[in-house]
Amino acid sequence: TVGGTAADTATLSGLYGATPGGTITFGLYAEGGCPAGGAPTGTAVFTSTKTVTGNGDYTSDPFTTTAAGTYYWVASYSGDGNNTPAMTDCGDTNETLTVIEFGTICGYKCIQDCHEKECGLPGWTITLYHASNGTEYASTITGVGGKYQFDHVPYGTYWVNETLIAGWKQITPNKMVTLNDANPVAI
């Protein structure tokens, strides 16, 4: 998620010499700067260099995510007197980092034409569905005052749907909401 951290690990094996040396540089590239199956063409959004002290695992410094998107790790080994340089390709297996953003969807289930907190209806089931395919994302029950809230919802478009209770009539239709940078909280 945006604000989280990520790191990459490279494994060196089969290197020759008493103590293979050189460096490994980890680069993280945005989607447009890293064509699948090839070398990066853009500037890395993050780099971390580690000194090689033999065969084994090397891990980059942590990268703190700042924007949603798809990113690709590339590890480059500099080589040394006994070993040739090497680099992973963009889009190698398990080298993709997908960063998503989250928002909040909240509201109240109330008696029609009543805008007082006393008019909220507790105990109603409110369900979020993905608008793209109709699958359920999450469900909750309205609390005191009729409030419902879904936190940490990935950006996207959702249907907010109430489960009708016998004896009641739905007045307001189910609502479609979109979470994005311009609208991180939908009410």
Q: Which residues contact 144 (CB under 8 A, 6 or more apart)?
A: 120, 122
- Interstrand relation of 69-77 and 56-59 (parallel, antiparallel or unpaired): unpaired
Residue among 82, 91, 104, 81 at smallest CA distance from 34: 91
Confidence of residue 24 (pLDDT cuts 50, 70, 90): very high
pLDDT of residue 36: 72
- Interstrand relation of 147-154 and 136-141 (parallel, antiparallel or unpaired): unpaired
**61 vs 172, higher pLDDT:** 61
Counting every residue, how long is the chain? 187
The number of C-alpha atoms within 13 Å of 89 and in the hemisphere containing its C-beta is: 7
The stretch 115-129 carries a mean pLDDT of 85
Q: What is the pLDDT of residues 25-40, one digit of tens each?
A: 999 998 888 877 778 8
The CA-atom distances, in angstroms, between 182 and each of 13, 103, 104, 148 are: 47, 11, 13, 22
The stretch 47-60 carries a mean pLDDT of 96
- Contact call for residues 153 and 137 (beta carbons, < 8 A): yes
Q: What is the mean pLDDT of the chain?
A: 89
pLDDT of residue 8: 96
pTM here? 0.66
pLDDT of residue 117: 60
- Interstrand relation of 5-6 and 63-64 (parallel, antiparallel or unpaired): antiparallel
**94 vs 56, higher pLDDT:** 56
Res 16 pLDDT > 90: no
Share of the chain residues as helix, strand and coil, in percent rounded to the nearest 5: 5, 45, 50
Confidence of residue 23 (pLDDT cuts 50, 70, 90): very high
Q: Could you give the angle at the alpha carbon of 11 between the alpha carbons of 20 and 42, nearest 5°?
A: 100
Q: What is the pLDDT of residues 60-118, one digit of tens each?
A: 999 998 888 889 999 999 999 889 999 998 888 888 898 888 889 999 888 877 766 67
Residue among 139, 105, 107, 143 at smallest CA distance from 123: 143
pLDDT of residue 180: 84
